[in-house]
Structure 1
Amino acid sequence: MLILTRLLLISGVCVAADLTVNGSVGGTVELPSDLGSLKVEDFQMLRWKFKNIDIAEKLSGQTEVNLHAQFKRRLQLSPDFSLTVRELRLEDSGEYQRLGRKKDGSQISTYTIQLQVYEPITSVWIQPEYTWDPENHSCAVHLVCNSSGGLRPSYTWRMRDQTESSSRLHFFLPPGEGNVTITCTAVNAANQMSSNHTVRCIPTETQPDWKLYLYTAVPAGVSLLCVIIVSLVCHFRRRAKAADTSQEEITTYAVVNKVGRSQSTGLENPVSLYETVGDVNIPEMTVYSTVQKPRPPHSPYIEAL
């Protein structure tokens, strides 16, 4: 709880609040009765008011709480008449007053408390961004601290023994510094929460390495050349095979085609098969001479013929 002094204007009279209490939504606060040396038994009447509306009282020994529907089942009185408010809501913010009248009929001073209920901070995270600065040979670090839940929080950075109050942090970190842990703390009136982030500078600047280029380019070029050579060899082999096949077809069917063409053109003296063969310059031989040629020249069989 944070104790502050605040001025309140009631019925045109400027009155200082005795106490300011901060709470978070869903939390619990206790509003002290501040009776001093007096005891509850010394009073004929004790009462709590919220914005001038009765919410709890003790009258002639009888205690009543939850007199207002807004606080139903959320109020509790302690033996010294301190008031506990549970399950806080934003609408619970406002002015609370403790009033009292002693058994002798005298009034005691009114005790005024200002309660402020805030949304609590539920999470904190750091958004980093790094860039390599070649001029400084170091990393330029940009950090942004974010939070959710709380309204208008304040942020504090801690890096080693240094602190800075801001939601953003910018600095340069040399590679030799190693790991550096940075803490961001978000604070509002209800609570505070922290988050850590470790930063390390790793240079990203690289110099061209001609050896690396050479080692990469030479194998790639050799591989490409091999592929081209193999492709050309296969291509020429296919062409040569196709040419041989075509020549074979021409040699086999040339003579027959010649006879066919002669007949189709209606020539009076068609060429016979023997004449066609003669055109190929094959020596004319009879059946007998063809059979007898391989035999010895002085065979009796030849003489008999």
Structure 2
Amino acid sequence: MVEVMLSNISARISASLPAIAFLVGLAAGTALPAHAQPHQAAEWGKVSAPAPGSPRIFGSYTNGCIGGARSLPTEGPGHQVVRLSRTRYFGHPETIEYLLNLGQRVAATDLGTLLVGDVSQPRGGPMPSGHASHEVGLDADIWLRLDLPPLPRSQREDLDLPSVIDPITKHVDPRLFTDTQAMLLRLAADDPRVTRIFVAPGIKQALCERTWPDRSWLRLIRPWFGHEAHFHVRMTCPPDQPQCADQAPPPPGDGCGAELASWFEKPPPVPTPAPPPKVKPEPPPMPVACAGILVMPPH
């Protein structure tokens, strides 16, 4: 009889562990040691549904998670989500609202159809491939190609999404980056919740060379390699998310002077690389609340 009772108690405790882990995470504002963290990107990639409850962000764009994420409709007025099999169309409600609104504005101005790529996984966290950010539902990739009609979901998995940058000159190809793409970026920056939009340096240069009645929004357009076919929108931490670690605002000015020119300077000769370290360094610890977010049962 005693053994049966102990077995029943043990089963109840085991069933409660996800909730206990979540509550412990909510109560703690610090991070656990790295070895105790759910850093395995594969584990976050396996989760197919958001953690239930109201939206809550823990950590930073590059090291965090989100509970209560919302999914972006896979198609709607002015937008369609691509590469749906990746299950990366979840985000904070403000990010989802932003993307829906941008799609509607793109449709209203006859620019084409917005192609939305990765936002975040259902619970954020590190991704198995493709990104070092997008972990808290506040980042979104938007492709620069706008001429595709609404497509069946099966045809959105392997699209031809070419770079708009000439590989020789490092400047935009005027056939692929036109006033249409420039206006898309102008619309994307026209929201006070946007803190940065990452583009290839050549795209930033093309925007700087155009005449704009108001150039203040160019401050948000930040050059960064790897964004030759899409741009990356980053939202500020919502004011009701105290555990969200915001990024410092961009420096003042439009960023079109010496700062931009430095991206086109010829790099110095590359020295002989040092041998790689034998031991891969541990990633920084995730917020402790993320352990609870990862294991919470869905609705």
TM-score grouping bracket, smaller chain normalisation = under 0.3
TM (norm. structure 2) is 0.18
Which is richer in strand? 1
State the structure with bigger RCO (CA 8 A, min sep 6), 1 or 2.
2
* Higher radius of gyration, 1 or 2: 1
Which is richer in helix? 2
